[in-house]
């Protein structure tokens, strides 16, 4: 059995959950004796597990075992929609029998016995937050939301369904045995994102043939290496357009483009509008002087003015 599921012969009982869309969030490093799933529905977040940081996009998620130090950060790459589920390991009583599920499901048995641990970073089927794992977690959380009217047996079934869908992710990725190359390539890209970069340099840093690396990226990210690089650059550029008063030309140079024209063309390709249009529609002034009012975010996520002085 792996380190993902606590002691042998236990039952898993969901005890905490949330489904949120957050602009900023920083949960400091902590640990607890429960298993946990952090699933990115949209946007991007950063999860640090045992000192190693993982940058998760929509459809990517982390499966954590008990007592694993971890931290969640949102905001450096923009807003993020996230599903979270924590489950306790009980010796008896209600809950899904993990041993029983492993006996009935070959896919889960493989994960249960050899999945490694104490952490797995996996990619859902569609890669956009609407895959089978995402839908399974949404259905489970919806039933948990019934609280007093929830059906414990249905919760157990939905939890088992989520575990089976999760256990299929490594199998679907088994053909991508080179995911280690992808992780090394991503680390190099993030370190040199705003410098001159090409497929050959990324492949050399990852220690793999550039053609094979392109194939691996097509499988895991649904795009080529340079498309992935440009996507990260565009995400950062969009963040700067909304959250700074930098000139568009300066942002272009900041994110690694040598010309404003090329930057504008690439930005429009990703966001279907020019950078200035994006700033006008999405941005807020970053002036330090807000006059005599305070901007307060309401429950709907929109800002309204609160006058501080007459």
pLDDT at 128: 56
Pair 248, 221: CB distance under 8 Å: no
Superfamily of domain 11-172: Regulatory protein AraC (2.60.120.280)
The whole-model pTM stands at: 0.58
The per-residue pLDDT for range 123-141, each reduced to its tens digit, is 886 655 678 999 999 999 9
Provide the percentage of residues in the chain whose pLDDT is more than 90. 49
Task: Summarize pLDDT for 247-279 with one digit per residue, the tens.
Answer: 999 999 999 998 899 999 999 999 999 999 998
**In which residue are the tokens 């490594």 written?**
170
* Domain 179-282 superfamily per CATH: Homeodomain-like (1.10.10.60)
Q: Count CB neighbours of 81 within 10 A.
A: 17
User: Does residue 86 or residue 116 have the better pLDDT?
Assistant: 86
Q: Please, are residues 66 and 34 in contact by the beta-carbon 8 Å criterion?
A: yes
Domain locations in the chain? 11-172, 179-282
Domains 11-172 and 179-282 share a fold: no
């Amino acid at each position: 059995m792996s380190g993902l599921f606590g002691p042998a012969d236990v039952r898993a009982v969901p005890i905490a959950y949330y489904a949120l869309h957050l602009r900023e969030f920083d949960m400091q490093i902590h640990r607890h004796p429960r298993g946990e799933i952090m699933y990115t529905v949209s946007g991007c977040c950063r999860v640090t597990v045992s000192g190693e940081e993982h940058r998760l996009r929509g459809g990517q998620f982390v499966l954590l075992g008990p007592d694993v130090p971890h931290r969640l950060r949102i905001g450096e790459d923009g807003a993020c929609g996230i599903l979270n589920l924590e489950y306790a390991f009980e010796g008896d009583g209600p809950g899904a029998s993990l041993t029983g599920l492993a006996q009935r499901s070959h896919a889960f048995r493989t994960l249960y016995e050899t999945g490694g641990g104490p952490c797995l970073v996996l990619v859902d089927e569609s890669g956009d937050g609407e895959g089978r794992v995402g839908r399974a977690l949404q259905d489970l959380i919806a039933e948990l939301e019934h609280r007093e009217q929830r059906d414990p047996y249905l919760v157990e079934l939905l939890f088992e369904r989520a575990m089976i869908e999760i256990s299929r992710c490594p199998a679907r990725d088994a053909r991508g045995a080179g995911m280690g190359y992808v992780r090394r390539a991503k680390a190099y890209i993030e370190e040199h994102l705003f410098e001159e970069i090409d497929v050959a340099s990324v492949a050399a840093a990852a220690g793999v043939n550039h053609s094979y690396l392109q194939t691996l990226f097509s499988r895991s990210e649904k795009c080529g290496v340079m498309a992935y690089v440009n996507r990260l650059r565009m995400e950062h550029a969009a963040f700067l357009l909304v959250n700074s008063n930098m000139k568009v030309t300066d942002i272009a140079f900041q994110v690694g483009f040598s010309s404003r024209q090329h930057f504008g063309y690439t930005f429009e390709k990703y966001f279907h509008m020019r950078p200035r249009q994006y700033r006008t529609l999405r941005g807020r002034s970053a002036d330090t002087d807000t006059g005599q009012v305070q901007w307060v975010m309401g429950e709907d996520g929109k800002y309204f003015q609160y006058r501080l002085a007459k």
